[in-house]
Chains A and B, each alone.
Chain A
Amino acid sequence: MAITMPLSSIIHKQPQKQRDKWPSNDFQEELVIRPLHSGDIYASFQFRTLWETDFMRGNKVSHYRLFPKSLGQVISKFSVRELHISFTQGYWRTMQWGQPFLPSPPGAELWVWFQDSVTDVDGTWKELTNVLSGIFCASLNFIDSTNTVQPSASFKPLGIGNVTDHSFLRYATLPREIVCTENLTPWKKLLPCGSKAGLAVLLKSEKLFHSSFHSQAVHIRPVCQDWQCKTTSWELRQTLNVVFDLHTPGQGKREWSLFKMFSRTLTEACPLASSSKIYIDITDNPQGEQFEVSPATPLLSQAMVLGDRRTFSVYDLTQQITFGTVRSLNLLIRWKSSEDMLRPLLHGERYVAGYGLQTGEIHTLMYNNHPYRSFPVLLLDSVPWYLRLYIHTLTVASKGKDNKPSYIHYQPSKDRVRPHLLEMLVQLPPNSVTEVTVQFERALLKWTEYTPDPNHGFYVGSSVISSLVPSIVAMDTNSTREQPLFSSFFPCKEESSYFVRVYTEPLLVNLPTPDFSMPYNVICLTCTVVAVGYGSLYNLLTRSFQIDEPSPGLAKRIANIIRKMRGVPPL
């Protein structure tokens, strides 16, 4: 009984349990734990602050309560409409782990929509990156025009707003950026409770960075407060995704607990939070035959997330009963048997082919694992200027046949000014692999442009594959209904599909590197040759020879002394 729904999000079905107006300053925190089929465990923290205020139109906001002041000042000073920044260490393995709730590429990624009142977007962008580098202790000041692009179709705004002018959008990645405790520390300080109470107590760097994947992000966007969208409020989401490896702690036994993952247990919820929940994904475990969770909880919840209806056990930390008699909560998940997992529908890979330091080829593979449906994907590629792409060699092939993209936007690079930007809309046939190849040539950089360790190589940022993937169950298009945070991040405009963004691996490419010790060697060699050559010539021309008597023997010397005394000429 499929009812076709219009695409607008304002008109919706039955308003169930909707709240007409959310409170003006609201903080919610949640943790979702999803056991993965490979034995690893995926934990996703989300902290959301909603604030009904107006940063724009000259309003000077001075009283901050839950919303961090540093970010509020950034929004008002730089007229930001949406800001998304993520720091990731590791690469998300889609084929082993499924789809993440919030995708992010390795390194640092920053994309910002500015308000239309900004006159000099590039200047504002540069200042914004400098300020953010100070807030997050990251080298975001290396973002400049050589790695910033303006995507024309990907990265539509995730909050309210129907702006189509892409000149207000800027996107940049730093694939080389390292994420460590110094990025986590200021991130934790932005939370209302800090790391002292609530779920943030679990965020200990020694465990978080000893993992296969770690990603922390900050997302700021304006959202509607009610279904008529009469008032808007600013939403700040801080998310942290981490995948713990089964074998790293050393035991190999398939058993996870909060203490094993984070070396802490929970004792209380954040007092400033209106809701503080832990969700454990038990969809694959309806009767408890795969794993068991203790302590058991009667609360269950269902949510439509990533095109699937999943069931979760819920632990509400605002209720004192959750902590039991020991006053602390340590969830324990113990496995009994394992099963194969469903293959994710969309998956991407990228690698460099070729040999030598002159030319090469970039191959991007996109997998559509749906058995009978085809869907379009938008591929965004941003390649630095020193890999000169030959776009006439661009080929897109699926199942061996040529597949012409229906939309291509290409902006060629300019040396030392702009990178390449390639955006394509490709229709992926069902159950197939689509391969995009393009050849490139490596440029020679000036000797001052090399990093201090040039033999490591140069990074090319991940490709972004965005798509509306057909979903198995009907998705919920009512964005104002109270939903868990992890299912409400991407706005859902249609019921039959959900939004997915997949990032490929970054590439590491070697450029022809000069030998930096050569100037010193050349100077030594030249000076030696000149010295030897000139010195010999000079000696030849100016040296004069004199005959030198050998020194006489002892007897003769004494005789000479006596003769000198007598006044007679010597021998």
Chain B
Amino acid sequence: MDSPTTNNHNHIHTHHLNGASTISQPSKKPKLLSSSFITPAEIHEEFSHHDPSVARINNGSFGCCPASVIAAQHRSQLHYLRQPDNFYFNELKKGILQSRTIIKDLVNAKHVDEISIVDNATTAAAIVLQHTAWSFHEGTFQKGDVVLMLHYAYGAVKKSMEAYVTRAGGHVIEVPLPFPVASNEEIVREFRKALERGKSEGKRIRLAVIDHVTSMPCVVIPVKELVQICREEGVEKVFIDAAHSIGCVDVDMEEIGADFYTSNLHKWFFCPPSIAFLYTRKIPKGGSELHHPVVSHEYGNGLAVESAWIGTRDYSAQLVVPAALEFVNRFQGGIEGIKKRNHDAVVEMGEMLAQSWGTHLGSPPDMCGSMIMVGLPTSLGIACDDDALGLRVHLREQFGVEVPIYYRPPRDGEVGCVTGYARISHQVYNKVDDYHKFRDAVNQLVNNGFTCALLSG
């Protein structure tokens, strides 16, 4: 059986469909044993399917996947299509277990049972929060018991809270966070205040949902400290929504100590869409288990086994974790080296942009991973969310720059402050030119007297 990790074939997947571009695997066999690492030319080839006309500085939204991992995925898909029954009976379970085992080691979980593979963090959130809803319905939780989340929680998670917690009678408290932020202490302070609010009505705080790396605005949250505070303050369970974290910041389940933790492997760990892991800390026998909402014949066999079969689907993205790990290990320092270099580069580029535009960074370097928020010149006149989106579209269509823009409303008393931030990212495929292109685009807009008000005309 051709394992997805085997890189022995020189595949060229060319497409003769109206000049569509190609995905090709590097022609050199990767040297697995020598001390030479992947070269810049090889990296370029691995991402040659990226649109070359675009300065792609939004790795945070949709991630990226190198050609060799895509090739591994194709092989897996082909293998299934060739004889699906045989694949189902003899290969699938093994392959998923292999992926889960690799993830367990990557994130320092104690048991592979604690690692389930799901589609994405959005799905993981639904799994955890559905369980919370059930606890309210059953009466294990009382109406009015509190679930805490950050104000900057991801939009889908906020909706999930509405659908599962508020609807079931839970009381949701949002922790406001300062942005721009200067230190972890600012975040801890707000978190403690929110905990106090939660406990003040004599209700229990059943669950705290904490981002590891917030999406917009993007800041690395001191999760280990917050989890400790939760334990001290009697918060029953902590769920870390770490959609961005694996491959971007340090992820250690024993260190962080949360009850539930999820991260997408298709954002910063080079897997194709889509795959995420949901870590669930082992609970004593008889404790209430999480379930996948799509019930199959595996129902009741534990979340990991349930998630590994939710009906006939393409599981190939979940089977190529070995190939992603192989890719990562072609780099000096493996994933740690990649993280460090990405971090240093994004900080350097962020500072370059802030200097050129006369603005500032949204957080200090030690509160960012591979993404950083950079203030945009106030003359651009970003005055609402629509402006931010409009500017993003304008940058994409007129300048070939892909970067998400965040609108930061002025606080009471603030005048003439920066109201727009760009969330720039750095991944192994980025070049300095990408950020120069962005810098020059913004400077051109400023020089031309551009304001967002012009977009709605």
Q: Does B associate with A?
A: no
B residues near A (Cβ < 8 Å) are none
